[in-house]
Amino acid sequence: MTHQLLHLPKSVTVVEVGPRDGLQNEAEFVPTDQKIALIERLAETGLKRIEITSFVHPKAIPQLQDSEEVVKRIQGKPEVVYSTLVPNEKGLERALTAGVKEIGLFVSASETHNQKNVRMSIADSLKGFRNIAEKALASTVRMRGYIVTAFGCPYEGKIAPEKVEFIIDEYQALGIHEIALGDTTGMANPLMVSRLMERLRPRFTQAAPALHFHDTRGLALANILAALQQDIHIFDGAIGGLGGCPYAPGASGNVATEDLINMLEEMGIETGVDLRKLIECARYAGEIIKRDLSGHISRAGRVCWDGPETP
- Cβ nearer to a copy of itself, comparing 59 with 291: 291
User: Can residue 115 be called a binding residue for a copy of itself (CB under 8 A)?
Assistant: no
Residues 6 or more apart whose CB falls under 8 angstroms from that of 249 comprise 154, 185
281 annotated active-site: no
Window contacting a copy of itself (CB under 8 A); options: 40-48, 58-66, 226-234, 277-285: 226-234
Give the angle 40-101-183 at the CA atoms, nearest 5°: 80
- Cβ nearer to a copy of itself, comparing 219 with 234: 219
User: Can residue 221 be called a binding residue for a copy of itself (CB under 8 A)?
Assistant: yes
Give the contact letters, 237-256, x = binds to a copy of itself (CB under 8 A), - = no: ------------xx-x---x
**Distances in Å between the alpha carbon of 135 and those of 90, 93, 146, 162?**
12, 9, 18, 28
Question: Which of the residues 251 through 310 are near a copy of itself (CB under 8 A)?
Answer: 252, 256, 259, 262-263, 266-268, 295-297, 299-301, 303-308
Which of residues 110, 125, 216, 271 is near a copy of itself by CB under 8 A? 216
Residues 6 or more apart whose CB falls under 8 angstroms from that of 220 comprise 183, 186, 213, 214, 254, 255, 260
User: Can residue 311 be called a binding residue for a copy of itself (CB under 8 A)?
Assistant: yes
- Cβ nearer to a copy of itself, comparing 51 with 259: 259
Q: Which amino acid is at 117?
A: N
The rounded distance, in Å, linking the Cα atoms of 198 and 188 is 15
Q: Are residues 152 and 159 in contact, defined by beta-carbon separation less than 8 angstroms? A: yes
| Active-site annotation holder among 153, 245, 281, 304 | 245
Among residues 72, 64, 77, the alpha carbon closest in space to that of 26 is found at 64
In the complex, minimum distance from the CB of residue 176 to a copy of itself, in angstroms, rounded to a whole number:
23
- Cβ nearer to a copy of itself, comparing 31 with 218: 218
The rounded distance, in Å, linking the Cα atoms of 254 and 188 is 13
The rounded distance, in Å, linking the Cα atoms of 256 and 297 is 9
Rg (C-alpha) for the chain, rounded Å, is: 18
3-state secondary structure of 20: helix
Q: Which amino acid is at 216?
A: T
In the complex, minimum distance from the CB of residue 79 to a copy of itself, in angstroms, rounded to a whole number:
26
Q: Which spans of this chain sit near a copy of itself (rule: CB under 8 A)?
A: 1-9, 152, 154-158, 186-187, 189-192, 194-195, 198, 201, 215-219, 221-222, 224-226, 229-231, 249-250, 252, 256, 259, 262-263, 266-268, 295-297, 299-301, 303-308, 311
Residues designated catalytic: 245
